[in-house]
Amino acid sequence: MLNVISLEQAQAMLKEKFQIKTDTELLELSDCAGRTLAEDIESAEFVPDFSRSTVDGYAVRAADTFGCSEAIPAMLKLKGEVLMGQSAAFSLGAGECAAVPTGGALPAGADAMVMLEYAEDFGGGTIAVQKPSAPGAHIIFRGDDVKAGQKVLKRGCQIQPKDIGALAAMGVCRVPVFKKPKVAVLSTGNEIVSAETKCLSVGQMRDVNGPMLASAVASAGGEPLYFGIVKDEPELLKKALIEASSAADMVLISGGSSVGARDAAALVLGELGKLLFHGLALKPGKPTLAAELGGKPVLGLPGHPVAAYFIFSLLVRPLLFSMLCAESQPRTLAAVCQTAIPSNHGREECVAVRCENGVAVPVIGKSGLITTLAGADGYIRIPRDAEGIARGESVTVYLF
């Protein structure tokens, strides 16, 4: 029998035991999308570094246009023209204006723009403005986007394509990021064969968890190292674990964690390192185990794909985020449950759901059926002391 602990106890134990941080590296701007930022980024300059127009028209002193109309236009003297990519070599005084294109720099003294369609060139250097303009109209002022010394990106954030644009605007071309934690992935079981196997014999199953977990590691910011399939033989597993822990920062074992006669994971890990726990008060995922091997975390995930994916989401992903100093708060969605879900197992239960217009629709299936995950957007958690969820009850959906 397994001596189970709660999910919260397991999460706290892993967080306390493995306070591991990865090293950092500098990457070119074009290579850092999706990586985790290792330092706060502050701007060394103003963005933009000059006040510029957002329309084609005339730069003016707003006060010179107050009260004007088509019947009584404001008559301004054209002081000059500002060309794109150049600064204005002059400033505006009272009663003066300047022709400025979209994106062009404003001359000193100007505090507003008048759109071209609200002005008329009378010739001889006279511009008639037919609509008043307020101070700041159609202008992006120096530093409106970013001010010098302003913190723009926080340490621990995952760099998105939109952030690349901000970094480029500030002239940041080499970005400090955390190195990807290396995560070894092993699949165990005498019945497991490569996903490339074309013709299966009776009793054989293609390796679902290996590719799935490797992909999940990559999506969480890690670097997966797939060590293939290991038979349920203690010596083979021991050799594989030694090699995997030497090459990686974390090891994931899929299968071999239950209490069957030929399951060797707990036995081998107890010999090689220290077994931290074996068994969770959780459905699915009861046979989950965790161990320390050479100061590195080893997680034994259930062989059933749905259970393995839940445990990855609940235990492995937060641990990876911790190694990257990244925020690990799950994305959630408020919804109401479409149907009643009974749950009186004496353990917390996770139920896969899909979301339809604010309604959580349970995706019912057994833990060995991978298509249960394929049709789900996330999951809801039912506390171990609850008897289930009533139809129409408000729930929190944890998004995958």
Q: What is the pLDDT of residues 113-134, one digit of tens each?
A: 999 999 999 999 999 999 999 9
Q: How far apart are CA 9 and CA 384, in angstroms?
A: 13
| Domain termination residue (choose one: 275, 293, 323) | 323
Q: How far apart are CA 275 and CA 86, in angstroms?
A: 68
Does 173 share its domain with 293? no
Does 344 share its domain with 385? yes
373 has pLDDT over 90: no
Asked if the structure places residue 145 within a domain, the reply is no
316 has pLDDT over 80: yes
Above pLDDT 70, what percent of the chain? 96
**pLDDT at site 13:** 96
**pLDDT at site 204:** 82
| Domain termination residue (choose one: 90, 113, 140) | 140
Dihedral sign (CA 361, 367, 369, 370):
positive
pTM for the predicted model, two decimal places? 0.81
Q: Tokens 């299966």 — which residue?
A: 200
Q: How far apart are CA 51 and CA 86, in angstroms?
A: 12
Does 252 share its domain with 369? no
Q: How far apart are CA 187 and CA 207, in angstroms?
A: 7
**pLDDT at site 108:** 96
Does 363 share its domain with 308? no
Q: State how many domains the chain has.
A: 4
Q: What is the pLDDT of residues 148-170, one digit of tens each?
A: 999 999 999 999 999 999 999 99
189 has pLDDT over 90: no
Q: Tokens 């955390």 — which residue?
A: 178
201 Cβ neighbours under 8 A, 6+ residues apart:
none
Q: What is the mean pLDDT of the chain?
A: 92
**pLDDT at site 369:** 59
Q: How far apart are CA 181 and CA 259, in angstroms?
A: 30
Asked if the structure places residue 146 within a domain, the reply is no
Does 262 share its domain with 244? yes
Q: How far apart are CA 159 and CA 356, in angstroms?
A: 30
Lowest mean pLDDT among 73-77, 127-131, 223-227, 229-233: 229-233
pLDDT, mean of residues 81-103: 95
Q: What is the pLDDT of residues 130-153, one digit of tens each?
A: 999 999 999 999 999 999 999 999
Asked if the structure places residue 292 within a domain, the reply is yes
Q: How far apart are CA 181 and CA 207, in angstroms?
A: 23
Alpha helices in the chain (DSSP H): 7-17, 161-169, 209-219, 234-247, 265-272, 305-311, 317-323, 371-374
Asked if the structure places residue 2 within a domain, the reply is no
Asked if the structure places residue 38 within a domain, the reply is yes
Residues forming a β-bridge with 151: 42
More reliable by pLDDT, 350 or 263: 350
Work out the pLDDT band at 374, boundaries 50, 70, 90.
Answer: confident
Does 254 share its domain with 305? yes
**pLDDT at site 3:** 83
Residue 246 phi, psi (nearest 5): -75, -30
Q: What is the pLDDT of residues 170-183, one digit of tens each?
A: 999 999 999 999 99
The answer to whether 108 and 120 are in contact (CB under 8 A) is no
Does 206 share its domain with 263? yes
The CATH number of whichever domain residue 56 belongs to comes to: 2.170.190.11
| Domain termination residue (choose one: 92, 117, 140) | 140
The CATH number of whichever domain residue 373 belongs to comes to: 2.40.340.10
Dihedral sign (CA 284, 13, 221, 187):
negative
Work out the pLDDT band at 190, boundaries 50, 70, 90.
Answer: confident
Cα dihedral value 238, 240, 242, 243, nearest 10: 160
**pLDDT at site 262:** 43
- The structure tokens listed for 334 are 């408020």
What would the DSSP string read from start to end of 257-295? -S--TT--HHHHHHHHSEEEEE-BSEES-TT-EEEEETT
| Rounded (10°) angle between helices 234-247 and 265-272 | 60
Does 286 share its domain with 225? yes
Residues forming a β-bridge with 24: 178
pLDDT, mean of residues 287-314: 94
Q: How far apart are CA 76 and CA 94, in angstroms?
A: 9
Does 129 share its domain with 267? no
Residue 185 phi, psi (nearest 5): -120, 120
Asked if the structure places residue 184 within a domain, the reply is yes
- The structure tokens listed for 301 are 């995930």
Work out the pLDDT band at 199, boundaries 50, 70, 90.
Answer: confident
The CATH number of whichever domain residue 163 belongs to comes to: 3.90.105.10
206 has pLDDT over 90: no
Where in the sequence is the domain holding 171, given as residue range(s)?
25-47+154-178
Does 106 share its domain with 215? no
**pLDDT at site 360:** 96
**pLDDT at site 261:** 39
Q: How far apart are CA 297 and CA 277, in angstroms?
A: 12
Does 59 share its domain with 125? yes
324 has pLDDT over 50: yes
More reliable by pLDDT, 374 or 118: 118
Asked if the structure places residue 283 within a domain, the reply is yes
Q: What is the pLDDT of residues 343-356, one digit of tens each?
A: 877 789 999 999 99
Q: What is the pLDDT of residues 104-113, one digit of tens each?
A: 999 999 999 9
Lowest mean pLDDT among 197-206, 297-306, 360-369: 360-369
The CATH number of whichever domain residue 300 belongs to comes to: 3.40.980.10
Does 287 share its domain with 353? no
Asked if the structure places residue 199 within a domain, the reply is yes
